[in-house]
């Protein structure tokens, strides 16, 4: 009798393990088929990545939504050899609350519907500047400023960084006038350090702002650069001012301009 009971327990345990659904990331846990499962937090304007194990070979072949996500949310599915990944894109105007949905895991012999929920949170992302707000350098030499980005959610967060400087102050090429902005993705539960590199084109003190947009908010930081003149920068300035010079003085300005290309 005891032997039969022991065998029955083993069969039940084996069955439970065979038909369980395991979430690998962002949380490691066994998912219930009967109760809603919490799978992580996400900030507005971020992407929550869920990785579900395929476990036994060919147990699950794919995944689809069994119930729709809120309006404005998007998703995509990526099937890999040992896992199925579900990417949920959270819009910038998402409400800070729990969102319920369910997925259907498709298998060759049976499908499993798994109820899930995640929470959109605000205030879990942060950005701060370094203590150095003014840098002294030479004209056309780079100056670096640092921003520290923090992501305390279970999703990859997006930070958009832009400045009010002219494009040729950000790029090393003096004639490059590209837009002065970039997007930085900070992985879940991690920090990142981002450098703002400036190449001053004129001597003197120049104040500028850096704006960082994240979640549904933004932060603005003020910096300054003190650019000291060089012989090259003094000679080089005649190139940009040539249209305003008298034509009788053009030969001498032309000579100074040529010299600027050979002075370091």
In a domain, 110, yes or no: yes
Among residues 120, 145, 172, the one where a domain terminates is 120
Among residues 91, 120, 149, the one where a domain terminates is 120
In a domain, 171, yes or no: yes
One domain, residues 203 and 224: yes
Q: Given a cut of 60, is residue 256 above it in pLDDT?
A: no
In a domain, 73, yes or no: yes
Q: Given a cut of 70, is residue 7 above it in pLDDT?
A: no
Mind listing the pLDDT tens digit for each residue in 174-187?
Answer: 444 445 688 999 99
Cis peptide before 26 (omega within 30 of 0): yes
Burial (CB count <10 Å: 0-12, 13-18, 19+), residue 140: middle
Q: What is the pLDDT of residue 17?
A: 43
In a domain, 45, yes or no: yes
Rounded CA gap, 151 and 190, in Å?
6
One domain, residues 100 and 160: no
- CATH value at residue 27: 2.60.40.10
One domain, residues 144 and 68: no
User: Which of 11-25, 116-130, 231-245 has maximum average pLDDT?
Assistant: 116-130
Among residues 120, 151, 168, the one where a domain terminates is 120
One domain, residues 39 and 116: yes
Q: Given a cut of 60, is residue 235 above it in pLDDT?
A: no
Q: Given a cut of 60, is residue 243 above it in pLDDT?
A: no
| pLDDT confidence tier of residue 54, bands split at 50, 70 and 90 | confident
Q: Print the domain residue range for 254.
A: 230-264
Range in 81-85, 107-111, 171-175, 213-217 with the lowest mean pLDDT: 171-175
Return the structure tokens found at 219. 């932060």
Q: Given a cut of 80, is residue 230 above it in pLDDT?
A: no
Higher pLDDT, 37 or 230: 37
SS3 118: strand
In a domain, 175, yes or no: yes
Mind listing the pLDDT tens digit for each residue in 68-88?
Answer: 899 999 999 999 988 999 999
- Mean pLDDT, the chain, rounded, equals 82
Number of domains in the chain: 3
- Mean local confidence (pLDDT), 101-116: 91
Rounded CA gap, 100 and 74, in Å?
14
- Mean local confidence (pLDDT), 183-206: 93
In a domain, 88, yes or no: yes
One domain, residues 129 and 213: yes
Mind listing the pLDDT tens digit for each residue in 131-143?
Answer: 888 999 999 999 9
Q: Given a cut of 90, is residue 16 above it in pLDDT?
A: no
In a domain, 60, yes or no: yes
Contact 101, 111 (CB under 8 A): no
Contact 49, 27 (CB under 8 A): no
Q: What is the pLDDT of residue 176?
A: 43
In a domain, 10, yes or no: no
One domain, residues 55 and 136: no
Contact 105, 86 (CB under 8 A): no
Range in 42-46, 118-122, 181-185, 258-262 with the lowest mean pLDDT: 258-262
Q: Given a cut of 80, is residue 108 above it in pLDDT?
A: yes
One domain, residues 83 and 159: no
């Amino acid at each position: 009798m005891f032997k039969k009971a022991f065998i029955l327990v083993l069969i039940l345990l084996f069955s439970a393990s065979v038909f369980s659904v395991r979430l690998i990331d962002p949380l490691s846990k066994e998912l219930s088929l009967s109760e809603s499962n919490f799978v992580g937090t996400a900030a507005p304007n971020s992407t929550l990545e869920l990785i579900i194990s395929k476990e036994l070979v060919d147990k699950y072949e794919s995944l689809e939504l069994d119930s729709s996500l809120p309006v404005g949310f998007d998703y995509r599915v990526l099937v890999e050899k040992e896992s199925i990944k579900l990417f949920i894109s959270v819009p910038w105007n998402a409400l800070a609350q729990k969102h319920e949905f369910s997925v259907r895991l498709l298998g060759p012999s049976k499908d499993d519907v798994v109820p899930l929920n995640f929470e959109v949170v605000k205030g879990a992302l942060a950005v701060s500047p370094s203590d150095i707000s003014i840098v002294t350098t030479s004209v056309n030499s780079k100056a670096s400023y640092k921003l520290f980005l923090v992501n305390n959610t279970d999703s990859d967060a997006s930070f958009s960084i832009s400045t009010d400087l002219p494009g040729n102050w950000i790029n090393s090429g003096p004639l490059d006038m590209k837009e002065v902005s970039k997007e930085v993705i900070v992985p879940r539960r991690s920090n990142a350090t981002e450098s703002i590199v400036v190449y001053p084109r004129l001597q003197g003190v120049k104040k500028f702002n850096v704006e960082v947009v994240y979640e549904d908010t933004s932060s603005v930081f003020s910096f300054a650069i003190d650019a000291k003149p060089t012989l090259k920068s003094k000679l080089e300035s005649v190139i940009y001012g040539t249209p305003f010079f008298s034509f009788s003085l053009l030969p001498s300005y032309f000579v100074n301009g040529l010299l600027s290309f050979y002075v370091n």
